[in-house]
C-alpha cells in the first residue's frame, strides 16, 4: 500500500486534452459581439401583457454564456502560464491558435526535430497542464480508474 495514491498519467492527459479542446469553443463564445438583439415586431393583434422582458432575458442569458466562457478561458490561461515555457507554447500551438495546426506544423514552429519528438513532448506537456489545473480537477488516481472500469 502506497502512502500517496498513484496517478493515472494517461487518464489525466486525456482529461487535460478534453479541457484544452474546449478552448476554441470558449474563445468563440467570449468573442461574439452582444449586438444580436432583435427589435420587437408589431402585428397589430392584441396580446396579453407579458410580465417578462424577452429581450432583456435573452441579453442576460447571452451575457451569462459570455462570462462563463471568459471564466473558463481565464482558468485555462492561468494553468498554461504555470507550465514550463516549452510546454506552454506546445499546448498553445496544439489547442489555442485560431486555426487547428497539424502536428508537423507544431513541430516546425517549435523547432523540434520530428513529429515523434513533438508528440512525446505534448504528452508530457498535457500531464504538466493537468497538474497545473486548479484543485487538481484533471488528475485521475489509479483507484478511480479501476472503479470506473468495474462500474462500466
pLDDT at 146: 53
Residue-wise over 75-88: b if at least 16 C-beta within 10 A, else e?
A: ebeebbeebeeebb
pLDDT at 148: 54
Closest CA to 91 of 82, 28, 140: 82
Report CA Rg, the chain.
22
Domain residue extents for the chain: 9-31+53-151
**Better pLDDT: 31 or 6:** 6
Q: Report the run of H or E that residue 105 belongs to, with start and end.
A: helix 103-110
Q: 10 Å Cβ neighbour count for 90?
A: 25
**Better pLDDT: 39 or 66:** 66
- C-alpha to C-alpha distance for 32 and 66, rounded to whole angstroms: 8
Rounded mean pLDDT, 99-127: 95
- C-alpha to C-alpha distance for 21 and 25, rounded to whole angstroms: 8
pLDDT tens for each residue of 88-98: 999 999 999 88
Rounded mean pLDDT, 41-51: 59
Is the confidence at residue 111, as pLDDT, over 80?
yes
Rounded mean pLDDT, 53-78: 85
Rounded mean pLDDT, 50-77: 82
Is the confidence at residue 27, as pLDDT, over 80?
yes
DSSP for 1-59 reads --SSPPB-HHHHHHHHHHHHHTHHHHHHHHHS-S---------S---PPPSS-HHHHHH
Amino acid at each position: 500500500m502506497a502512502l500517496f495514491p498513484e496517478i493515472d498519467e494517461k487518464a489525466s492527459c486525456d482529461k487535460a486534452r478534453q479541457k484544452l479542446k474546449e478552448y476554441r469553443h470558449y474563445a468563440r463564445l467570449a468573442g461574439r459581439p452582444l449586438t444580436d438583439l432583435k427589435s420587437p415586431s408589431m402585428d397589430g393583434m392584441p396580446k396579453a401583457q407579458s410580465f417578462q422582458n424577452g429581450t432583456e432575458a435573452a441579453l442576460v442569458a447571452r451575457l451569462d454564456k459570455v462570462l462563463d466562457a471568459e471564466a473558463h478561458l481565464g482558468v485555462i490561461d492561468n494553468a498554461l502560464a504555470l507550465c514550463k515555457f516549452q510546454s506552454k507554447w506546445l499546448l498553445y500551438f496544439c489547442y489555442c491558435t485560431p486555426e487547428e495546426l497539424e502536428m508537423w506544423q507544431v513541430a516546425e514552429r517549435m523547432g523540434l526535430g520530428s513529429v515523434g519528438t513533438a508528440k512525446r513532448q505534448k504528452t508530457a506537456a498535457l500531464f504538466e497542464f493537468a497538474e497545473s489545473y486548479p484543485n487538481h480537477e484533471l488528475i485521475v488516481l489509479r483507484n478511480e480508474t479501476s472503479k470506473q472500469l468495474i462500474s462500466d
